[in-house]
Structure 1
């Protein structure tokens, strides 16, 4: 289960409980919840998931590597400048391919019931270092600029991002980008028995797929 746009929203916990109750009535055997790493609001949704009578697994994630190539940030990369309200805080970006494999294993294989997996990449990078890795993979300059939350919101709106989502993104950056998620976790290795993909690997794969082509 994945709640859009984020489990931090007040309505999320009720929605997760409703889905768990429907799953109980339908006799589902397993559920996996995509949760937020370091998000207090997501914890209540996790607690509600426990009302599911079958096997449940929680997968906690923070920043997806693919945020740079499949959201508003893709256009910023193409423009040659990524601007966010984040300074030297580090984030162990997680490749969405690893998330998909962990979720698939939890749904299809035994041994994951009741587990909470915190999924991260193998190393913590600053956002400037992540953009440098993207620039190196592309073979052209992409710069990183730290901006104020207000400037960030203005750019989101100018880029056509919905106002409610823009406000949520500003709030999430203000709350979770304080270093609480900086330490890499072992969830991918625990679930799959292998290390997670690196951010550099993600950047090279994304270039091969042409997602940042101008």
Structure 2
């Protein structure tokens, strides 16, 4: 079985009952991060209570400290699981599985897991959540558009050069606002239990294509440079990121994810947002001003 086939599989659905539509309190792990912040905003706008799961929250939550889990789960009807740093990192599957079982024991009715395409460890985490005994939905995502404006690619964009250990690989970059819309729907609406929504944008883009889109949106030249894994590990060290990200980037950009998926349309009934629209809106916001 090839990797692309494997990445489209989903775990068997649980027989646990689905949580009611009227969710009242939702734990949003990573609630101050790129996806979690947006999910929390949508939940609040819909009239639900978003309990922010972070180490500095009024009710602290820390993936690495299971003594914080019970208090964070108290009174919660559903939870959004965004594991940091990534589901592909060592120990992630065990931690997420343990948390999902703790959530089931606490009476949480629905879990929505943020997952990654083409990552075997991420799929193992999906299975662990599906087997925990709650209702569940997997939101399996391509690379985020907003990595170029809110994360580790922001400084390279500002400097005018994207450097990565990949050459001709293409990726269907997805907008985080689409991810948040799907996650919020899965957390608060019926009809999403047992679903694996694989989310992509509408087009396949190489990093050279991305550089061209960013250049057009910003009105200045942004180059793409392919480097070796060892060279990229050195680049990561300069910005304080783990060297393991180099291996992750190399793995998921080997062509296994070079196909589109219809998860946004299946979950929301509309097409996904285009990278070019994201780039124009972000440039207009001033995020890439130098």
TM-score, structure 2 length as denominator?
0.70
The range that moved more, 9-18 or 113-122, is 9-18
Counting helix residues as a fraction of each chain, which structure ranks higher? 1
In 2, the alpha carbon distance for the partners of 1:7 and 1:156 equals 19
Distance in 1, matches of 2:140 and 2:282, equals 23
- 2:211 alignment counterpart: 131
Q: Map residues 25-104 of structure 1 onto 2, 5 A cutoff.
A: 25-104=105-184
Greater relative contact order structure (CA < 8 Å, 6+ sep) = 1
Using the TM superposition, give the Cα deviation of residue 128 of structure 1 relative to its aligned residue in structure 2, in angstroms: 0.5
Distance 1:173 1:16 in 2: 22
Unaligned segments of structure 2, at least 5 residues = 1-80
* Alignment-derived partner of residue 237 in structure 2: 157
> Pairwise CA RMSD of aligned residues?
1.1
**Number of equivalent positions:** 210
Which is further off, 172-181 or 99-108?
A: 172-181
Secondary structure at the residue paired with 1:59? strand
State the TM-score, normalized to the length of structure 1. 0.95
Structure 1 moving runs of 4+ over 6 Å: none
- 1:93 to partner: Cα distance: 0.2
Larger radius of gyration: 2
Is 1:105 matched up with 2:185?
A: yes
The equivalent position to 1:141 in structure 2, one of 209, 221, 229, is 221
1:111: how far off? 0.4
The alignment partner of 2:281 has SS state of helix
Range with bigger deviation, 99-108 or 63-72? 63-72
Deviations, residues 42-75 of structure 1 (Å, cap 9, x unaligned): 1111111022322100111131111111122111
